[in-house]
Amino acid sequence: HFRAAIFDLDGVLTDSAEEHFLAWQRLAAELGISIDRAFNERLKGVDRMGSLDLILRHGGLDPDLAERQRLAARKNGYYREAIEAYGPHRLLPGARRALVAARQLGLKVGLASSSRNARFLIERLGIASLFDAVVDGSDVARGKPAPDIFLAAAKALGVEPDEAVGIEDAAAGIAAIRAAGMRAIGIGDPTDLPDADIIISTIARLRLERYLPA
Ligand code: G16
Ligand code: MG
């Protein structure tokens, strides 16, 4: 049975997924590339350079590494600008309660985010103290869909992967959870997340006690 709940950040606890999309869309437009929300589903949970590469390929561009690093930094500037203004009011409804409920159930609580801005963001959101361990894209070699971020979070929490449940809004994240050997709870539309074990529409509907022994 479960001893830990490991949460994704963007799209699960806060809607910074939208700020990522707007920042990428702005950068893409400057390059003459148009991206829409359907395309954005492929970027969710994917790390910064991985997302940029998908956009460049989509637009048929292939700049060298130095230029790609400049473009990624420019996007991050747009994104940081947007999240500077974040505070606890930007938590999704039910997000804080889900973290508190997991703690009250006696579960260890972890954060597994691809975002190198994750630690900054949970401070802004006022939830940093609710996590027993935080792992982000800068702590591991491979981002989602590789299992590394979730495996590192389980290790930091002192649990085995099969004792943990992962909560994700992105296809790449569900793939990472499954590859780590954990149970996957998907948040969003079932057609976007066919590989999740369980699907709920929003974090407010999370009831972890259902998966624990009575
Ligand atoms: C998030 C977002 C992705 C973003 C990635 C890297 O992951 O879902 O869209 O590209 O982080 O973010 P940054 O550029 O801030 O390092 P997650 O895993 O929290 O959903
Ligand atoms: Mg996410």
Q: Is the CB of 41 under 6 A from ligand 1?
A: no
Ligand 1 within 6 A of 55 CB? no
Predicted pLDDT of residue 1: 80
Query: Please, which residues have CB within 8 angstroms of residue 149's CB and are 6 or more apart in sequence?
Result: 112, 113, 114, 135, 136, 137, 139, 140, 143, 176
* Short-list 85, 90, 75, 80, CA closest to 25: 75
The residues carrying an active-site annotation are: 8, 10
Q: What ipTM does this complex have? A: 0.91
Best residue for ligand 1 mutational test, from 6, 10, 37, 119 (most atoms within 8 Å of Cβ) = 10
Relative orientation angle of helices 48-58 and 16-30, to the nearest 10 degrees: 40
Is residue 47 part of an annotated ligand binding site? yes
Quote the ligand 2 centre to 194 CA distance (angstroms). 16
Query: Which of 54, 79, 113, 114 for mutating ligand 1's site (highest number of atoms within 8 Å of CB)?
Result: 114
**Is residue 20 lining ligand 1, measured as CB closer than 6 Å?**
yes
DSSP class of 47: -
Is 40 one of the annotated binding-site residues? no
Residue 51 CA: which ligand is closest? Answer: 1
Q: Which ligand is nearest to the CA of 145?
A: 1
| pTM to 2 decimal places | 0.91
Rounded distance from Cα 60 to ligand 1 centre (Å):
23
pLDDT tens digit at each of 214 positions of the chain: 899 999 999 999 999 989 999 999 999 999 999 999 999 989 988 899 999 999 999 999 999 999 999 999 999 999 999 999 999 999 999 999 999 999 999 999 999 999 999 999 999 999 999 999 999 999 999 999 999 999 999 999 999 999 999 999 999 999 999 999 999 999 999 999 999 999 999 999 999 999 877 6
Question: Using the 8-state DSSP alphabet, how is residue 132 labeled?
Answer: S
143 lines ligand 1 (CB under 6 A): no
Residue 105 has a pLDDT of 96
Confidence (pLDDT) at 214? 62
How far does the centroid of ligand 1 lie from the alpha carbon of residue 101, in Å?
Answer: 25
Of the CA atoms within 13 Å of residue 24, those in its CB half-sphere come to 29
Helix residue ranges, H only, 59-204: 65-83, 95-104, 118-125, 148-157, 171-179
